Chain A
Amino acid sequence: MNRSKIIIPFYVLGVLLLASCTKKVPIVYGVDHYHQSPNGSFIKAKIKGRQEKINVSGELIAADDKKIIVYTLDNPRILQPYALRDILSYEIYYAKGVENYNIETGLINASTLTHGWFLVLTLPINLIVNGSINESVNKELRFNSKELSADRLFKYARYPNGLPRGIDLSNLNKLLEN
């Protein structure tokens, strides 16, 4: 109909491909090899700060009934303890999804452009269904704070039995750096 109508499909395709992208989750392997990881699971947590919420992510090193210790992704990486009472929510990823349907779902979403006015109906449904397919890849490898209570977090830590004897945060920090 005009330039926009002609190039809209390409815009939409781009948007859909981007929308279909899932966030990259560092650490560990596909679901077939999750048990071979010697590391703790990857944790993303929202922490109640003094004034605002803090987003924390990194390897879960240890967890007990009072705190968790996270080896952050900051540069340089540091070990950081957080009191359980300050944790607002968290997600634990014990493996990284190796399936990737971004291209497939992006193309399927884009194909709704051929549906004419049905697009009004089919595009959002496609986005939701295909989005849920993509989401399920990571969702099945992830627990949130509602699915996994804080008292069970230790199972997913590098040291499920707590920090090794004779090692505290300060010297572990140095040891891990070396």
Chain B
Amino acid sequence: MKKSVYISGSILILFALACGFAKDYNFRNVYYSHNELIHQTSRLQTLPYLKAHHKDGSVYIFEDKWETDSVNLSGFGTYYDFKRTAVSEKLQVVPLDSIALFETNRKIESNKDKRVKMLSVMTAVDVVLGIICLTSPKTCFGSCPTFYFDDGNPNRLADAESFSNAIAPSMEYNDVDDLRYSGFGDKIVTFNMLNEALETHVVKKTDLAIVSKPLAFDVFISPEEKFYVTSANYRLINASASEGDITKVLEFSDMKERFSFADNKTLVKKEEILMTFDAKDLQNTGLKLSFRQTMMTTYALYSAIGYMGDEVADIFAKLEVSKDKNENLKTLLYNALGGIEVFSQQNDLTWKYEGEMYETGPIAQNHEILPLKHLQNINGTIKIKLVLNKGLWRLDQAALLEIEQETKPIYVQPLKVFKNGAEIKSVLTLKEKGERNQCELSMPGDAFKIQYSLPEIKNKGYNYQVFLDAKGYYIEWMRASWLKDKDLLALKRMLENPVTWLNGETSNYKKYEADMEKQFWESKWTKNNTSYESL
């Protein structure tokens, strides 16, 4: 905060200086008589430039070497007739009594040097700011409210991005995210909630959902937001996709992600990943995936807003009051692109549908578990097939876990909230149900530090697995540069038939796809952490 105050203060000083360019108001004078001219200019060290306006409308323009006697004005100059055609350029001798008016002009001091200095300073300030941004990634581009465990690491990747789908008030929803943080009881933990994009975040809840579990166990949420305590991890023996063996990529949660590019002809095309797990003693098993989306859905979202152009507010207002259209928008891309569908192989070698996972957003990874109901052990192995839209998902890990039990979390509200460094009385700490519809506004650049007190755990050898339970929505700011993309017909086509629209956008999307991820993260992380892959 201090940094931004210093920077803005410095730039405002520059602004004040820029406004202070001196202006010369008295460089030109006119004299109606020869005597007046002589009196006013005789004491000057340098003679002014002189124009002698003739009674017939013509004019003599002299440089700064001219002289008068009692009869004539003489000097080297140019004579222009009344039409301002140059007639002669020579030593002119002009009878004083033919002159109607003398005009003198003093040399004007230009502010050019000051302007160049000002530009140099501005350039230097901007370059320094650019470097600050690159070395302080949390100040750079992002999207949706992002949450970071407060461990003092400026290069930490976002632990959660909340309610990514809630792009309008009526689309507000409760979003539970796995923060992949476990902590002991009777302890204060702090998370940072940042607004890293040109968006207005309206946050109504940032509680923690915590689950007590033995130290050696883990807890994951299902797509239905049920909490499961898990134990054993069955080894991934083999994983393959169209590009070949991807076992090593999916084996561990190491931020090395498996992804594919969209099909060249259509954005809506499925692909398959086949996995084999070593699972001799199956009881109650679930498939855990760590995943996030590529930029495809965000591309679609911003395209939609661009299509709305200067009618974005009107259209969103209509969506707010139209339940059907609103529901349509909520599930638009999900219906078109689908989630990550999970199938298990049966003894007769057919595939049985187990369920699917879907979370919007390209920033923070999701870690979810899907309980598998139809698993069959085939010669001591389990075969799982994922069917997913090509180019839409980035998978970090696929693991088969033993589910010990379903459990209920304890909800912990924030203890203290600090906004941009100062403690505030925040609605996020309000405990009464009726009060919880109030919201905390977060504008671009706002940084909230939210403290929680984890309750004491009586059982030794237990700790808490911590999840974020957030609720709210956000408003994407319309950019001036998007206004020219206005195309209500395209918007209509997109809303009515997203699959056709996505197919039509394939070539446009493909132009950017290869570099989108790289460019996005390069705008955010330090050179040491240019992307997930670089970790």
Contacts and interface: CB of A to CB of B under 8 A. Distances in A.
B299 A31 contact: no
B246 interface: no
A120 to B, nearest CB: 5
Interface stretch (A50-58, A72-80, A82-90, A159-167): A159-167
Interface string B108-141: 1011100100110011001101101110000111
Interface string A165-178: 10100000001100
Interface in B452-487: 479-482, 484
A6 B516 contact: yes
Q: Which of A94, A99, A111, A129 is packed against the most chain B CB atoms within 10 Å?
A: A129
Contacts of B519: 5-6
Contacts of A35: 49, 51, 61, 105, 107
B520 A117 contact: no
Interface string A102-122: 001100100110111110111
Given A1-B141, A108-B122, A115 B303 contact: no
A34 B160 CA distance: 64
A122 B49 contact: no
B82 A118 contact: no
Interface residues of B, number: 86
Nearest to B84: A38
Q: Which of A1, A31, A111, A136 is packed against the most chain B CB atoms within 10 Å?
A: A1
Contacts of A117: 139-141, 195-197, 444-445
18 contacts: A3-B303, A6-B520, A11-B481, A12-B481, A15-B481, A35-B107, A114-B523, A117-B140, A117-B444, A121-B11, A125-B12, A129-B118, A133-B119, A155-B30, A160-B103, A161-B101, A167-B82, A175-B82
B115 A136 contact: yes
A129 to B, nearest CB: 5
A114 B133 contact: yes
A38 B52 CA distance: 10
A8 B479 contact: yes
Contacts of A5: 141, 298, 302, 516, 519-520
B360 interface: no
A11 to B, nearest CB: 3
A112 B126 contact: yes
Contacts of B298: 1-2, 5
Given A34-B108, A117-B444, A118-B129, A132 B15 contact: yes
B303 A4 contact: yes
Contact of B115 (A31, A32, A101, A159): A101
B436 interface: no
A3 B512 contact: yes
Interface string A27-44: 000011011101100000
Given A38-B59, A117-B196, A139-B23, A2 B83 contact: no
Top 5 nearest A-B pairs (CB, nearest first) are: A164-B57, A11-B481, A116-B140, A2-B299, A114-B130
Q: Which of B107, B143, B198, B481 is packed against the most chain A CB atoms within 10 Å?
A: B481
Contacts of A159: 53, 57, 82
A31 B110 contact: yes
B252 interface: no
Nearest to A143: B25
A160 B54 CA distance: 10
B133 A115 contact: yes
Contacts of A111: 123, 126-127, 130
B280 interface: no
A136 B196 contact: no
B56 A164 contact: yes
B225 interface: no
Contacts of A167: 57, 82
B14 interface: yes
A35 B126 CA distance: 39
B40 interface: no
B22 to A, nearest CB: 8
Nearest to B16: A129
Contact of A129 (B14, B302, B516): B14
A151 interface: no
B122 A130 contact: yes
A108 B103 contact: no
A175 B115 CA distance: 43
A118 B133 contact: yes
A96 interface: no
B141 A116 contact: yes
B55 A3 contact: no
B119 A125 contact: no
A22 interface: no
Contact of B61 (A14, A38, A161, A163): A38
Interface in B480-521: 480-482, 484, 508-509, 511-512, 515-516, 519-520
Contacts of B14: 129
Nearest to B294: A2
A133 B512 CA distance: 36
A118 B24 CA distance: 37
A136 B21 CA distance: 7
A67 B141 CA distance: 58
Interface in B16-68: 18-19, 21-25, 28-30, 49, 51, 53, 55-57, 59, 61
A120 B103 CA distance: 50
Given A3-B303, A7-B512, A15-B480, A118 B21 contact: no
B11 A140 contact: no
A3 B517 CA distance: 10
Contact of A1 (B15, B53, B110, B520): B520
Given A5-B302, A115-B129, A175-B83, 9 more contacts: A3-B511, A3-B516, A5-B519, A11-B484, A14-B481, A99-B112, A114-B129, A121-B8, A158-B84
